[in-house]
Structure 1
């Protein structure tokens, strides 16, 4: 298994990582309607989803491999007078008891490893998620240009490459999947939304390097 490598948030110059994703707005309302309260932001980055869910009344725990990201979240939470529990840790070894959470977001996180690490991290998610609890997870598609055009020397295994076009992610592993991989890896979960591949375009209409799957799954 490759060693996990944190994003270098000190080199980030984009404010987009401070704004909650559109999906989080839907999830916060959907999960509230189901009585979910205990929320884990897995790979919280600078803390945008942690802050948003805490403001919505959730009991929030946040983990990330980046000290910089966790410290940024702590300072942000203090300014907002929000109580958020934070840990610096790897996603394949979470510091929580079994069945600790009702719902989890793993946004642009769990694919930063190889196949072995991905499977181990997914088992950890299943362990800390309650039965019938829900996970929102973003995954990279093998149809991404970054995967299809990658130098063979950058391949770690059949699913994973090292990308180096972004300073924040230089030499961070990226794992790519397809529909068959989803069926194989998510045997502990039921899929509760359509498996739709999201294609990203720039403002000029050109396809960007990465395609994604956005999945909502429920633990069996």
Structure 2
């Protein structure tokens, strides 16, 4: 298994990482309607989802491999006077007891590893998620430009390459999936909604595009 590598958030120049994703509103309302309260922001980055869910009165735990990200979240939560528990940890070894969380968000997170690391991270998610608890996760698709042109990057295994086109993600591994992989890896979950594959284009050069799967699953 490849060693996990944190994003270098000190090189981030894009404020989009401070704005909650569009899915956050739906998830907060859906999860509250189901009586969920204990929320894990897995791979919290600078803390955008942690802050959002804390403001929605969830009991928030946030973890990331980046000390810079956790320090940023700490300062942000203190400024907002929000109680957000946080810590630095590797996603392959989560510091929580079995069945701790009602709901988990892993936005562009657990594909930053190789195949073995992905399987281990998903096992850890399943371990700390309560029965019938839900996971929202994004996964990078094999249909994206970087995988289709993987010869331009260093390959780790058949599903994983090291990308080097972004300062924050320099030499961070990326694990790619297709729909058959999703069916295989999430066999122990129920699909709350069917996987959706979305495309984002680089408008300066549209040959560069990124495709991600988004799905919500429930632990059986």
* Matching of residue 186 in structure 1 with residue 186 in structure 2: yes
SS in structure 2 opposite 1:76? helix
SS in structure 2 opposite 1:46? coil
Which position in structure 2 is the counterpart of 1:106?
A: 106
The alpha-carbon distance between structure 1 residues 122 and 56, as it changes in their structure 2 partners (threshold 3 A), is same
SS in structure 1 opposite 2:175? strand
TM-score, reference length from structure 2: 0.97
Which position in structure 1 is the counterpart of 2:206?
A: 206
* Kept after mapping to 1: 8 A contact 2:65/2:89: yes
* Kept after mapping to 2: 8 A contact 1:61/1:85: yes
Q: Distance in 1 between matches of 2:32 and 2:117?
A: 31
How much does 1:208 deviate?
A: 3.7
Q: Please list the CA deviations of residues 97-131 of structure 1 after superposition, one character each: whole Å capped at 9, or x if unmatched.
A: 00000000000000000000000000000000000
* Matching of residue 82 in structure 1 with residue 82 in structure 2: yes
* Kept after mapping to 2: 8 A contact 1:42/1:104: yes
How much does 1:205 deviate?
A: 8.6
> Deviating runs (4+, > 3 A) in structure 1?
202-205
Equivalent residue pairs, number: 220
Which position in structure 2 is the counterpart of 1:121?
A: 121
The alpha-carbon distance between structure 1 residues 207 and 20, as it changes in their structure 2 partners (threshold 3 A), is farther
Which position in structure 1 is the counterpart of 2:30?
A: 30
Compare 199-208 and 139-148 and name the one that shifted more: 199-208
How much does 1:199 deviate?
A: 1.0
Matches within 5 A, 1:89-168: 89-151=89-151, 154-168=154-168
Structure 2 residue runs of 5 or longer lacking an equivalent are none
Q: Distance in 2 between matches of 1:120 and 1:202?
A: 32
Matches within 5 A, 1:9-28: 9-28=9-28
Q: Distance in 2 between matches of 1:53 and 1:193?
A: 21
* Kept after mapping to 2: 8 A contact 1:106/1:136: yes
How much does 1:201 deviate?
A: 2.1
Matches within 5 A, 1:38-57: 38-57=38-57
* Kept after mapping to 1: 8 A contact 2:153/2:163: no
Q: Distance in 2 between matches of 1:204 and 1:217?
A: 35
Q: Please list the CA deviations of residues 42-70 of structure 1 after superposition, one character each: whole Å capped at 9, or x if unmatched.
A: 00000000000000000000000000000
Q: Distance in 1 between matches of 2:149 and 2:192?
A: 32
How much does 1:152 deviate?
A: 6.4
Superposed CA RMSD in Å reads: 1.2
